[in-house]
Structure 1
C-alpha cells in the first residue's frame, strides 16, 4: 500500500494538497538537477576529447617538424607575430584557409603573415604548407620564412610580395595597359617554370591543386611566385600520380575534370597543368571563365568562346592585342588550349609547356576542341557546363 509521509511526521494513505505540491516541487527540482548534471558532464567530455584531439594533432605536428632538425624554418612565438604585424593591423587579403597580414621584422625586412582559420582541426592545411613549401627553393615559388604553433594558434610567415596577386591586374579595367603583353608573357613563363620545379625538381613531387590568379604573387619586379599550398599533395619519389586521393580539391573554374570524376583519368601533376592552362586563358582574355549570372552556358565557358575565334582565324579584339603583340597573345592562347584538354594524357607536362612558350608561334599547332559527339559526356552541374570526353589522339602541341 502507498503511504505518504506528511510534513508533521505522520503517515497517511492520502496526502494533503500542500504536501503534494511540496513533493512535486522536490521531484521537479531533482529532475532539473539531474538534467543539468548530465549536460555539464556531456560538455566536460566534449571539452576533454576536443583538447585531447588538439593535443594529439599538435604532438603529430611537433614530431614531423622535429624531423627537419636545423633545416626547419624559423619558429616564431605568437607574441612575436603580434609585434611584427602591430596586432594584425594591416590585412593584405583573405583566403579559404587563412587571413594574410603585412608585417615588419626588427631588421626591417617586410613579411606576410598568414593566420590559419579553423586551426583546431587535425592541422592538415598547416602541415601541407610547412611540409610542401619547406621542401622547395625556387625563384618562382614563394619562400616560407617561418611558422608559429601555440595551442590552437597556427600561422605561417612568408616573404612579402609588394605587387600583391596576379588577379588584381588581369581582372582590372585595362590589364594590358598596367602590365603590358611582354610582362604578362614573362609571368606565364615564370609560373610554368615554378610548376615544372614542383612537379619534377623536388625530391618529393608536389601537386598544388589550387593554381589560380589569386595564388600567384608578384614581387617588386613582377616576378611571379606560386603561393598558398593549403591543398597541396605530395607524390611518392619518381611518381606523378596520386592513387590515394579521395577528396575533390581546388577552385571551381580551375578544377581539372579528372579531379571531380575519375572517369576522365587519374589525378596527377597533369591536374595542375589544366588549372595553369585555364589561368593563362584568363590572362589573355582579361575575364573570368565562370560568370554565374550568364544564362547561356556557351557564353560562360570562356575557353570555347576564344577557341572559336582563334580557330576561325579571327582577331582577339577584346584582349587589346596589337599587331606587335599578336604573336605573344596567340602563343599563350594555344598553350592554354593544350593545357586544358579534357583527357589528362593529351595535356603536355609543365616542362613541355615551358618549351612551347619559348618557341615561335609557327612551331605550335592548334589542338582539337573537345568533341560534342564523343561517346561519353557528363554534365558538370557545379560549373554550369557540359564537359565531354575527347577521342583525339595525344600530341605534344609542337609541329
Structure 2
C-alpha cells in the first residue's frame, strides 16, 4: 500500500506540470480565433434553431457574442430556446430567419393574449408589411350568447365568475362588459385561435406568432453568406457601446491550414489530456484499491456479526418481546404454544415459538436446544436462539415464509399449484435432511415426529425439517434405542414404537414416518377412499391399485407426472413395511428418489388385511401377532 502511494506521488509530481504545459500549448491561439467562442450553437440536435449573433445562448456564449435583449436559454421543458423579454414576458423561439430578421414564437403556457400587452417594450414587433385591424379585449360579468362572428371568447383569461372576449373595435359595447385594452393585429393570420393568439405558417412547417426586429441590421451580411457582428466588439464593451455600435460582416470560420504551429497545437491538445488521463487513472487505481480493501473489511465484519447469530444465542424474555414487537404478528398456534414473527437487530427475520408451561415442556425444551444446536444442514431448520427466563421458555428459528408442507398437500389446489416435479424435489430434500440426521452428525439423531406439519418451506419452497422436541440422540453404532413410551403423531408412528413384536425402535422408525409422508404427498392425506361403496385404508388402497396396474386416479398435468407419482408411491410403500428390517435406510431412499424410477419394483404388501388369518399371519416369511400388545420399555 505504501509503495503504490509513493508511485502515485511520483507520477503526479512528474506529469502534472507536463500536462498543464501541454494543455496551455494546445489551447493557445492567434487573433483569428477570437470569435471561436461565438460560433453558432443550438439547444438540441433536432428542430432547434441555430443560435448566433444577434442572439446569444446563456451559459455558452459570452455577453459580447450577442445584442442586448436577444439572450436565449435552454430549458428542460422544450427543445426550443426560451427568450426573456421585459415585463416578465417569456416565449419559446421555434424558428429564426436571419435573412428576413424574423422569429417565430409560441407561448409556453398556451395563452399569448396574457403576454401581448407587454410585448411593445421588447425589441421585437409584429410584421410591418401587412394591413392591421383594431381589436378590443373586454371583460364581461356574464356569458354572452348572442355575439356575432367577430366575437371570440379567450378561454385562458376567463373563469367561472367572468368571461373575456376579443371583438372588433367597431362592435357595439355591452352594458355588462368592461373594456380592458385595444390592440392592432396584422392581417397575416392563417387561422384564428385567440387563446394561443395567431398561428402563422412559416418555413419548416412550423406554426407560431411571427415577430421581426429592426436593430441590429444583419440582413446584408446574410445575403452575402457571411456572419454578422458588432464593430469593435469585445468582452469589455459596455451596453451603451453595443447599442450605438454598427454591424460588420465577416467570413464564416474555416479550417486553417495545418502548419507547424497548428501541429504543435494538435500535439499539445492531444498530449495534455492524455497525461491528465494517466494521472487520473493512477489516482483512481489507488482510490479503488483502498475502497476494495475497506469493502472487504466491512464484508468480513458483517460476516462475523452474522456468524454469531448462526450459533444459538440466549435471550431474555424482554428481548423476546422486543424481537416480536410485543407479540404483534402471530403466524401459528399448536399444542406446543404460539408462533410469532420477529426481527433481530441485524434485520434477520425469525419465528419465535413461545412454549406452553405444561408438564414435560422442560424435557422437550432441553431436547430441542441440545439437538438443534449441533445441526447445520440446508434441509433442517436452523435454531437461532432460545429463551429460558424463569418459567418462560421460547425457541427462535429462522423464519420460513411459506408455512408448512401440510398446507400444500392437504389441498389439491395448492398441490397442483406446486406441480409434481416440485413435490418430488421437496420429497428428495426431506430425505436428504433425514439422512443427515442419521449419518451426518457426531451422534445419530432420531426425530420421531416426521410429518408434513413439521416440514417448513422457505421462499423458494426448499423443505426444512423442524420441531425436535421428541428427538433422541444415540451413537451411530447403536442399532436400537430404549423408549419408555410411544412418541410421535398417530398415523406416522412406526409399528415397533407401539409394540416390540415388530422389532426394536431404531432409525428405521423415521423411515416409516417418511414413507407415510410420501403417501400423503401422493394422496393429499386421504385417510380413507370410497371404493365400491366400502371404506379402506388409503395406503392399502393405493398398494392394491399399483400392484394390479390400475390407474391411481391422480391429476396429471404434464408429461412425466405419472412417472413421478409412481416413484413416490413405490418408495413410500417400501418405507412403510411393518418390519424395520424390510425398510431401506435413508441413504438408499435418497438413491431411489434420485434415480429415474424405471428400475423400482413394487414391494410386498405391508398390510395385515392382505392375510385373512385373524390372529397370526406371515409376511415375507415372518410371523407376527395381529393383536398388537403395547409394551413399555425402559
Find out whether 1:152 has 2:391 as its counterpart: yes
Q: Distance in 2 between matches of 1:304 and 1:298?
A: 13
- 1:107-154: per-residue Cα shift (whole Å, max 9, x none)? 221100011112565711001110111111110000000100011111
Q: Which residue of 1 aligns with 2:500?
A: 262
Q: Which residue of 1 aligns with 2:547?
A: 311
Find out whether 1:116 has 2:355 as its counterpart: yes
Q: Distance in 2 between matches of 1:201 and 1:134?
A: 14
- Kept in 1: contact 2:528–2:535 (CA 8 A): no
Find out whether 1:232 has 2:232 as its counterpart: no
Instruction: Name which of 318, 327, 338 aligns with 2:574.
Output: 338
Find out whether 1:356 has 2:595 as its counterpart: no
| Alignment CA distance shift 1:72-1:375 (3 Å) | farther
Classify the secondary structure of the residue corresponding to 2:520: helix
| Structure 1 residues 1-399: aligned runs within 5 Å | 73-118=312-357, 121=360, 123-242=362-481, 244-289=482-527, 299-320=535-556, 323-370=559-606, 372-373=610-611, 390-392=619-621
TM-score (norm 1): 0.73
Q: Distance in 2 between matches of 1:80 and 1:125?
A: 22
| Alignment CA distance shift 1:198-1:295 (3 Å) | same
Give the C-alpha shift of residue 251 in structure 1: 0.6
Runs of 4+ in 1 over 6 A off after TM superposition: 294-298
Give the C-alpha shift of residue 71 in structure 1: 9.4
- Kept in 1: contact 2:311–2:384 (CA 8 A): no
Give the C-alpha shift of residue 90 in structure 1: 1.9
Question: Which range moved further: 282-291 or 335-344?
Answer: 282-291
TM-score (norm 2): 0.47
More helix by share: 1
Between structure 1 and structure 2, the one with the greater Rg is 2
More strand by share: 2
Q: Which residue of 2 aligns with 1:59?
A: none
Q: Distance in 2 between matches of 1:245 and 1:297?
A: 41
- 1:348-394: per-residue Cα shift (whole Å, max 9, x none)? 0000000011112221110001353387859xxxxxxxxx763358x
| Alignment CA distance shift 1:246-1:389 (3 Å) | farther
- Kept in 1: contact 2:496–2:504 (CA 8 A): yes
Classify the secondary structure of the residue corresponding to 1:129: helix
- Kept in 2: contact 1:377–1:389 (CA 8 A): no
Question: Which range moved further: 326-335 or 176-185?
Answer: 176-185
Give the C-alpha shift of residue 176 in structure 1: 3.3
Structure 1: gaps spanning 5 or more residues = 1-69, 379-387, 394-399
Question: Which range moved further: 131-140 or 322-331?
Answer: 322-331
Classify the secondary structure of the residue corresponding to 1:229: coil
Q: Distance in 1 between matches of 2:433 and 2:411?
A: 25
Give the C-alpha shift of residue 345 in structure 1: 0.4
- Kept in 1: contact 2:556–2:562 (CA 8 A): no
Classify the secondary structure of the residue corresponding to 1:299: strand
Classify the secondary structure of the residue corresponding to 1:250: coil
| Alignment CA distance shift 1:101-1:248 (3 Å) | same
- Kept in 2: contact 1:90–1:101 (CA 8 A): yes
- 1:266-286: per-residue Cα shift (whole Å, max 9, x none)? 001100000000010110111
- 1:177-208: per-residue Cα shift (whole Å, max 9, x none)? 21111110000000000000001111111110
- Kept in 2: contact 1:73–1:145 (CA 8 A): yes
Classify the secondary structure of the residue corresponding to 2:326: coil
Alignment RMSD, CA only?
Answer: 2.6
